[in-house]
Amino acid sequence: MTPQQAAALLEQFRQGKISPEETLRAFQAAPVTETDLGFAVVDTQRELRKGFPEVIFGAGKTPAQVVAIADKLMKASGRVLVTRITPEHATAFRRKFPKAVYHQDARCLALQKQPLAKRPGVIAIVAAGTSDLPVAEEAAITAEFMGNTVQRIYDVGVAGLHRLLRRVKDLQAANVVVVVAGMEAALPSVVGGLIGRPLIGVPTSVGYGSHFGGLTALLGMLNSCASGLTVVNIDNGFGAAYAASQINSLAAETRT
């Protein structure tokens, strides 16, 4: 319930159109326009609160569940993004929504009646190695879906520093930089020393030996001395892109 809705409700009550009990229940029950699917309560008002509709996390949901939730969201907001999907999800999804785009590398499904207008400002997505690409692509697709222009900077690990250095201009031109790295977790530290913009690190679970499913990369990023670096969970390309989009969107809004 937005403040506007609350004011309207109170006005109705003041005019005697609804009883105190009804009003009270309305306040307690708001925002109830979401649809209860039994297994899920679709939050169709998230766009109001967060500026972007709910995104479906596909892992752990059946294809049928994903399709049902997507259906509700499409009706409410005209766009839906599904992350962490399997090919089975994709098949079921496109049977129902033939216009959906399946980003196989990114493990995402995207569907929208009309793409969002691109806001000004670039989000750079940096990936250390080839095996970090699925996470980087999840970030890139998410950021683009949310109305941002994305600059991909891939395979620029620290072991060959020159690969990174020749992309410094691209890095410095971005409003926000997302760095995705598993085995080369030193990369955000180095990038952080080169730029003055917000920087978000995404550790990946790619590695071996004492990599511990990405924990080593995560800890390395958290302990980096690069000022201004913040971090999201292991493999959470979506979360990093979401945060980057919030930042880019803040910059765009205040621009007038």
226 binds a copy of itself (CB under 8 A): yes
Beta strands 41-42 and 56-57: pairing type? unpaired
Question: Are residues 151 and 170 in contact, defined by beta-carbon separation less than 8 angstroms?
Answer: yes
82 binds a copy of itself (CB under 8 A): no
Alpha-carbon dihedral 212, 216, 222, 224, rounded to 10 degrees: -170
Question: Using the rule CB under 8 A, which residue among 121, 124, 141, 171 binds a copy of itself?
Answer: 121
**Angle (CA) 26 47 24, round 5°:** 10
229 binds a copy of itself (CB under 8 A): yes
Question: Are residues 185 and 158 in contact, defined by beta-carbon separation less than 8 angstroms?
Answer: no
Footprint of a copy of itself on 41-60 (CB under 8 A): 41, 43, 45-46, 49-52, 55, 59-60
Per-residue interface string for the shown chain with a copy of itself, residues 168-207, x marking contact by CB under 8 A: xx-----xx------xxxxx-xx-xxxxxxxxx----xxx
**Angle (CA) 152 157 163, round 5°:** 75
Q: Angle at which helices 3-14 and 20-29 pack, to 10 degrees?
A: 170
Piece of 73-81, 95-103, 106-114, 231-239 that binds a copy of itself (CB under 8 A):
231-239
DSSP for 157-168 reads -GGGHHHHHTTH
CB of 212 to a copy of itself, least distance (A): 8
Closest to a copy of itself by CB, 36 vs 98, is 36
Token readout for 119 is: 């806001």
Footprint of a copy of itself on 130-169 (CB under 8 A): 130-131, 133, 154-163, 165-166, 168-169
77 binds a copy of itself (CB under 8 A): no
Taking alpha carbons only, the member of 39, 99, 29 closest to residue 64 is: 39
Piece of 27-35, 70-78, 91-99, 107-115 that binds a copy of itself (CB under 8 A):
27-35
27 binds a copy of itself (CB under 8 A): yes
211 binds a copy of itself (CB under 8 A): yes
